[in-house]
């Protein structure tokens, strides 16, 4: 039986819902994917990039509190985050969608 994502530290219902939109439904799938691939999948669903969820995932997979990431480790994670963001987030499309949303063209659920 698959382990719920919420059994991992730092992963609450809201983050589990985000993962579900990326077709990540259990802790085993998240572990198999790893932080970089899983966060890339989140970005491809339209999630806006933000460093905190990236390192929250990394800490969850290590079984550590989300705020345990500091110093050089955090700096190294920032480098990984920027690489994942560059590979999976189309900044031009995001800017275009923000403009369309602002003028009421996009229908948001």
> Which domains are assigned to the chain?
5-102 (1.10.150.20)
Q: What average pLDDT score do residues 83-101 get?
A: 74
Q: Which two tokens stand for residue 46?
A: 């339209």
3-class SS letters over 74-97: HHHHHHHHHHHHHHHCCHHHHHHH
Confidence (pLDDT) at 75: 96
Confidence (pLDDT) at 105: 74
Whether 109 has a pLDDT exceeding 60, the answer reads: no
Confidence (pLDDT) at 37: 97
Confidence (pLDDT) at 21: 94
Quickly tell me which residue has 């802790």 as its tokens. Answer: 27
Of the two residues 30 and 101, the one the predictor is more confident about is 30
């Amino acid at each position: 039986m698959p382990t719920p994502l919420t059994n991992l530290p730092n992963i609450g219902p809201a983050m589990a819902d985000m993962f579900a939109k990326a077709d990540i439904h259990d802790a085993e799938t998240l572990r198999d994917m790893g932080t970089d691939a899983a966060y890339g999948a989140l970005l491809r669903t339209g999630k806006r990039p933000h460093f905190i969820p990236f390192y929250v995932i990394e800490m969850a997979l290590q079984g550590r509190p989300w705020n345990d990431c500091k110093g050089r480790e955090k700096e190294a994670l920032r480098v990984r985050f920027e690489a994942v963001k560059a590979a999976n987030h189309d900044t031009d499309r995001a800017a275009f969608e923000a403009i369309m949303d602002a003028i009421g063209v996009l229908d948001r659920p």
